[in-house]
Amino acid sequence: MVAVTRRMPFFAARQSEVQRSARECDPTAAYLSPLMVLLAIIMVTGAFSSGSGFDWFYPVRVLGTAVAVWFFWRSRLTRFSWAGAWSGSAVAIGAAVFFVWLGLEWAMGFTGGPPALPAAIAEMPAGLAAAWLIFRVLGSIITVPLAEELAFRGYALRRLISPDFDKIPLRFTWLSFLLSSILFGALHGRWLAGTVAGMFYAWAMYRRGKVGDAILAHAVTNALIAADVLILGNWNLWI
């Protein structure tokens, strides 16, 4: 609704060319909007699934976040250099986060799994269950890493260094490293594991100065978690 009304002359105040140029050059929306869309969808769909404990509308998260990423990809995110985006170190960091996450799960006593998730999937028709699981895996590996890394490493990590975060070279500061990781951890149910994971993903980005490395590391972690859930049945990892 916001996107439509901002483009309809009836709802829009006249803006000078300078104002429009300033708004179009501000990269903040491109980095934060996918995560904001994801969180908004979680809030809305959660209201319909709070009783059962199973989110039937998870595919809406994936599609909504994908639309937000695509929308800003055309204007701001295309400036990313994806040349040489494949990084062996990012893959290794993502795998390391997976094993650290499992270790913290065991150390903090998070065992078993949410009964609503496997029970609901078992009661679904086979085709519907397969479709839901496909969206769940795609969300974990693609849209969630994109939305979260654009917000926390692409924006927060650099914005805590300088207001002109999109124009200056990336450099290490303890404030940006720790605070962006803690904020990332606070977004997750496992806040300690999330904070540690955020530190690893920041490290992945520091190595070459590419947010794409953090996205890749995050995607590898989530892919290994998805494999653990689907192959070994550790549904607690998908809480």
Nearest to 148 by CA among 209, 89, 222: 222
| Cα end-to-end distance, the chain, whole Å | 31
Mean per-residue pLDDT of the chain: 84
Q: Is residue 175 one of the residues assigned to a domain?
A: yes
Kindly list the distances between the CA atom of residue 231 and the CA atoms of 215, 225, 226, 228, 235, in Å, as whole numbers in the listed order: 24, 10, 8, 5, 10
Q: Is 48 helix (H, G, I), strand (E, B) or coil?
A: helix
| 207-222: pLDDT as tens digits | 998 899 999 999 999 9
What's the pLDDT band for 13 if we cut at 50, 70, 90? low
Rounded mean pLDDT, 219-231: 96
pLDDT value at residue 194: 95
Q: 218 and 94 in contact (C-beta within 8 Å)? A: yes
Q: Is residue 55 one of the residues assigned to a domain?
A: no
Q: Is residue 73 one of the residues assigned to a domain?
A: no
Q: 198: domain range?
A: 84-238
Identity of the amino acid at 211 = V
Kindly list the distances between the CA atom of residue 235 and the CA atoms of 58, 160, 222, 231, 239, in Å, as whole numbers in the listed order: 16, 36, 13, 10, 7
Q: How many CB atoms lie within 10 A of CB 18?
A: 8
Q: Is residue 169 one of the residues assigned to a domain?
A: yes
| 157-185: pLDDT as tens digits | 999 999 888 888 899 999 999 999 999 99
pLDDT value at residue 78: 53
* Greatest mean pLDDT among 10-14, 72-76, 121-125, 127-131: 127-131
Give the residue with greater pLDDT, 168 vs 58: 58
Q: Report, in this order, helix, strand and coil percent for the chain, each rounded to 5.
A: 70, 0, 30
Q: 199 and 217 in contact (C-beta within 8 Å)? A: no
Q: Is residue 222 one of the residues assigned to a domain?
A: yes
Q: Is residue 59 one of the residues assigned to a domain?
A: no
Cα–Cα distance for residue pair 74/128, rounded to 1 Å: 33
pLDDT value at residue 50: 57
Q: Is residue 162 one of the residues assigned to a domain?
A: yes
Q: Is residue 127 one of the residues assigned to a domain?
A: yes
Rounded mean pLDDT, 30-34: 92
What is the token pair recorded at 120?
């609901």
| 89-127: pLDDT as tens digits | 999 999 999 999 999 988 887 765 556 788 888 888 999
Q: 200 and 93 in contact (C-beta within 8 Å)? A: yes
Number of structural domains, the chain? 1
